[in-house]
Chains A and B, each alone.
Chain A
Amino acid sequence: MLTINNLKVGIGNKQILKGLDLTVNTGEVHAIMGPNGSGKSTLANVLAGRDNYEVMSGTVEYDGRDLFELAPEERAREGIFLAFQYPVEIPGVNNIYLLKAALNGIRKHQGKGALDAVEFLQVVREKMKLVKMDESLLNRSVNEGFSGGEKKRNEIFQMAVLDPRLAILDETDSGLDIDALKTVAEGVNSLRNESRSIVLVTHYQRLLNYIVPDYVHVLSDGKIIRSGSRELAVELEEKGYDWVRQEARAA
Chain B
Amino acid sequence: MTDETAKVEELVHQDYEHGFVTDIDTDTVAPGLNEDVIALISAKKEEPEWLLEWRLKAFEHWTRMAEPSWAHVHYPPIDFQGISYYSAPKAGTDGPKSLDEVDPKLLETYEKLGIPLHEQKMLAGVAVDAVFDSVSVATTFKEKLADAGVIFCSFSEAVQNHPDIVREYLGSVVPVADNYYAALNSAVFTDGSFCFIPKNTRCPMELSTYFRINAANTGQFERTLVVAEEGSHVSYLEGCTAPMRDENQLHAAVVELVALDNAEIKYSTVQNWYPGDENGVGGIYNFVTKRGDCRGAGSRISWTQVETGSAITWKYPSCILRGDNSSGEFYSVAVTNNYQQADTGTKMIHLGRNTRSTIISKGISAGKAQNAYRGLVNISKRADNARNYTQCDSLLMGDTCGAHTFPYIETRNASAIVEHEATTSKISDDQLFYCRQRGIDEEDAVNMIVNGFCKDVFKELPMEFAVEAQKLLNITLEGAVG
Contacts and interface: CB of A to CB of B under 8 A. Distances in A.
Given A102-B439, A162-B438, 8 more contacts: A51-B429, A71-B436, A72-B433, A73-B441, A90-B431, A101-B440, A105-B439, A162-B439
A48 interface: yes
The binding surface of chain B is classed by DSSP as: helix
B438 A76 contact: yes
Contact of A141 (B4, B439, B440, B452): B452
B434 interface: yes
Given A51-B4, A105-B441, A92 B431 contact: no
Interface string B69-92: 000000000000000000000000
Interface string A82-93: 101001101111
A56 interface: no
B454 interface: yes
B440 A49 contact: no
A25 B433 CA distance: 26
A12 B435 CA distance: 24
Interface in B204-261: none
B444 A101 contact: yes
B453 A91 contact: yes
Which residue, A49, A93, A102, A103, has most C-beta atoms of chain B within 10 A?
A93
A52 to B, nearest CB: 7
B467 to A, nearest CB: 15
B449 A90 contact: yes
Nearest to B2: A51
Interface of B: 1, 4, 428-431, 433-442, 444, 448-449, 451-456
Interface in A46-71: 48-52, 71
Contacts of A92: 451-456
A11 interface: no
30 contacts: A49-B437, A50-B433, A51-B433, A52-B429, A71-B436, A72-B433, A73-B439, A73-B440, A75-B437, A76-B436, A77-B439, A82-B437, A87-B434, A92-B453, A92-B455, A93-B449, A93-B451, A93-B452, A98-B435, A101-B440, A101-B448, A102-B438, A105-B438, A105-B439, A105-B440, A106-B439, A141-B452, A142-B434, A158-B438, A162-B438
A228 B431 CA distance: 36
Contacts of B429: 51-52
A132 interface: no
